[in-house]
Amino acid sequence: MNDDRNRSWPGQEPDAPRRAQSGQWPGEDPGPAWPGEEAPRRPQRNTPPRGNPRGGGGAPEWPSGDEGGPQWPGEEPPRRPQRPRGQQGMPPRRAVPPTGQRPQQGPPASPPEGFRQPRGGRPVPPPGREPDLITHHAHNGTDDFGRDPYDDGYEDAAFNEFADDVEPQDELDEKGKRILTPAQKKKRRWKIVRRVAYAFVGLFFVVPAIAFVITYFLVDVPTPESIKSLQNQPITYYDAGNQVMGRELPPGGDRQLLKPGEVPDVVKHAVYSAEDATFETNSGFDVTGILRAVWNQVSGGQGGGSTISQQYIKQATQNDAPTLTRKWTELAKSFKMNNQQSKEEIITSYLNIVYFGRGANGIQAAAKAYFNKDAKDLNASEASLLAGLIQGPGRSENQKYALQRWTYVMDQMVANKWLRADERTAAQFPTPIAKNANKEENSGKMTYQLQQRIKDELAAKGYDENRLFSTGAKIYTTIDPAAQAAAEQASQEGMKGQTDENLLNALVAVNPKNGGVIAYYGGPELVKDANGKDQIGQDRANQARNPGSSMKAFDLAAFLKMGKGLGETFDGSNNRVLGGRTVRNAGDSASCGKDCTVAKAMEISANTVFYDMVLNVTKPSRVAEAAKEAGVKVAPDGKSVLYTDDNNISLGGGGTAVTPEDMAAAYASFANGGTYHEQHFVSKLTNKQDEVEFDENNIKTNPAFSDDAAKSQQIAGNLTEALVPVIDHSKLKCPTGHECAGKTGTQQYTAKDDDPAAYKDRNAQTWMVGYTPSVSAAVWVGGDGNKPLHDPKNKPIFGATIAGPTWQNFMNLYLKGKPAEKFDKVAPIGKDVNDVTTTPTKPPETPTTTTPPSTTETPSSTEPTNTDTETPTSRTRPTRPGPGETPTFPLGNNQGGGGGVAAPPGAGPG
């Protein structure tokens, strides 16, 4: 870059700057001095007359306010320098005079031409020193090219009017507007057109492009993980033999996901033909398709402009709002998805999520629903029908519409060279199978009640329904198909010939060796409502009922835990007053005299012995503890109730209620030698990819009745020894080759004041719970709450009437052909029953009833001809005590213990 300060001024010798720095040369004229005391400034120009300023009048004066200052020197007035014609741009910048040196033009004592005196004056330099920063020309204030390079040009406008090369100002019309020539008007119109075009381009191209780029970086593309809830798949249930028991569809319908590469080309080509022929080449959206959709909207036609990518975004986000915002973000997401995923991944995701009708989501489910085959086996004709139904899945059963769409897709496949013309000519419209005809052949093996219990168990482990559907869960259950079939058959046969419409039943069987539920029958899956319409029946196997005398097994377990043995004796006579209440046995056959061993009391189900045992030895809390250790689940883990505020728990009445499932599981702990395995339905859970979530290794297992496994086994063995004779005493038989043990139970109906006299002997709940070393089963037969039940002869029913034979039938059916088995023998606890000699007292023919003074006796009834252990020879109907009176035992449950709700005590045998 040149240094202007070192350049020569016009008319100045080149060495002048150097001499200025070193001082005045000998004989040199110092040049003009500054006039007055302050530095001169450039005068303001007056407007010269039109024409050549050279011919003008007087010299220019100083600006206003400086009238007293010196005038311009020279004889000739200053004139505006003329710019050479044709010169373009600014002239070269003139050199700045050296610091401290003035230009050599002009007469002495005159300011340099073109120098404007500063306002307010300027300090006078000391003698012998020139002023600093002289920035103007030495002559008339212009450079060699005729202009002042320091003039910004804004003042030229005032002189343009008078310049030779400047045209005069345009004329104005009466409104003060400029009058334009035709050429100027045309130019102006084009100028407006250009500006409108620029605005149009900016509005419809530049601004949207910028906005699209911003949106692109702000939106997120739906990933397979983010739309799992929309890709719910059926839950598949397997039995213990890994055979499919059934499938449960999600609320949105059937869906079976495929992986990239599993969709055949014929299916993809059919879908392309129906929805987006340019899918393989477009970038996520088709401009021509969008324009065509706009035209269809304007002209009243049909058809959208969405590509497959856009449709996938819409399905994945579940946003179908008819707004520009939704469409805009949909375009950005589809474009971004095409940059992040392959076309194979996109089409697979789309075909997994799109709906085809018939409750089928995804191409695999649709292939099953319409043709009962896998997607990989579809031909061009079948694929075209399914692809055509994407636009109208709700019209899938409309033959005319389906044919129209099939024809269109087939023709498009030919047009796009995905199908040969001869193949199109030979193709026939495919005939779908009947709707809902593709259900699993063995789906009926699993009832609704069983399905819900399985899902309840998984939900308790943190696998709720949504999670199961989202993973396409495979649930491997413990249900044994043979046991399930035997349970249903035995339950149905047990109810044959019964005339009491209030009779209901349930059966649950558990494998003692692992706690798995192998059979579960909660009653009929469908029942009639009051209007005669079908409805889902209640699950009676998961409802808590008074267990009656089947609860005595837990009385004995608590007794054995205290070190007491089967040889201990109690007063087993009838009508004993215990705890201020009169307790009676179920007739003479259930009484065994003053010295009745515990073993004998269990065999004949003597109420007085077990009531005495719990009241005076174990206490109710120990009975409840033993029941829970065996497997009875109370809230919040289960529905059973173990009521310990009174002694009714000893005989399974009052507020105590247990579900059939819990009874089968608890008795399984006795069968398994005192080892508790938590009852469960699920042996293994996997996802669709067969990745294991959990298996039976997570099942809780521990000694049931003691931390010492040997002691727990001894307790269970002694209890089993006491329950073995009950089978024969109840007129039941074990399966051939198998030892078995068990206990019946009966809960009396609580009569009402206006009931017929015969109702006083009726029962409301009956049980039979028994086991072999390989299976434990509980059968409940009773009413829904407190109902007076009867057999076909209008006689009361007992545990050995219906429940007992049903249990025996199930055991025979299930264990038929299986290896024989026996119980392990253990050492006796406490007093050995074999060392005790008792002489039972023969009960009187007409027993007397011992009651408190305030209790009124009631006449006894005749003995029913029933073989149940608890069949009474005489009964007294208890009276309702008045204020301050002692009630007559037993206490029953007005509500029958239904649902595990503790009810106020009522009357009934234990």
**Given the residues 113, 275, 382, 568, the one annotated as active site:** 275
Residue 719 token pair = 């209890």
Tokens of residue 635, six digits: 């809230």
Beta bridge partners of 583: 576
Give CA–CA dist 763/767, Å, rounded: 11
Which of 750, 577, 575, 761 is closest to 653 using CA atoms?
A: 750
Please report the sign of the dihedral spanned by the C-alpha atoms of residue 877, residue 881, residue 885, residue 890.
positive
Strands 776-782 and 763-771: antiparallel
User: What phi and psi values does residue 209 have, to the nearest 5 degrees?
Assistant: -65, -45
3-state secondary structure 154-223: CCHHHHHCCCCCCCCCCCECCCCCECCCHHHHHHHHHHHHHHHHHHHHHHHHHHHHHHHHHHHHHCCCCC
CA distance 556 to 562: 10
Q: Which DSSP helix (H) or strand (E) runs through 683?
A: strand 682-686
92: its two tokens: 């070269």
- DSSP conformational letter for 241: T
Per-residue DSSP letter, 69: S
Q: Which of 549, 555, 609, 551 is nearest to 578 (CA)?
A: 609
Give the C-alpha separation, 889 to 858, whole Å: 14
Q: Are 234 and 254 in contact (CB under 8 A)?
A: yes
Among residues 442, 523, 425, the alpha carbon closest in space to that of 239 is found at 442
Structure tokens given for 126: 């000391």
Of 127, 101, 103, nearest in space to 115 by CA: 103
The Cα–Cα gap between 670 and 722 comes to 11
Is the distance from CB of 529 to CB of 830 less than 8 angstroms?
A: no
Per-residue burial over 772-787, b if 16 or more Cβ lie within 10 Å, else e, is: bbbbbbbbbbbbebbb
> What are residue 780's phi and psi, to 5 degrees?
-120, 130
Handedness of CA 323, 325, 331, 333 (dihedral sign): negative
Q: DSSP for 385-413?
A: HHHHTTS-GGGTT-HHHHHHHHHHHHHHH
- Separation between Cα atoms, residue 582 and residue 791, nearest integer Å: 29
854 catalytic per annotation: no
**Burial of 86 by CB count in 10 Å (0-12 exposed, 13-18 middle, 19+ buried)?**
exposed
DSSP string, 579-634: TTEEE--SSGGG---SSEEHHHHHHHT-HHHHHHHIIIII-HHHHHHHHHHHT--B
Measuring CA to CA, which residue among 736, 746, 867 is closest to residue 808?
Answer: 736
d(Cα 309, Cα 321) in Å, to the nearest integer?
17
Q: Which two tokens stand for residue 541?
A: 């196997």
Reported as type and span, the H/E element at residue 337 is helix 324-340
R_g over Cα of the chain: 54
| Chain Cα centroid distance, residue 826 | 53
Nearest Cα to Cα of residue 623 among 555, 565, 551, 674: 555
246: three-class secondary structure by DSSP: strand
730 among known catalytic residues:
no
The CA distance from 571 to 555, in Å, is: 16
Residues annotated as catalytic (active site), given as ranges = 275, 549
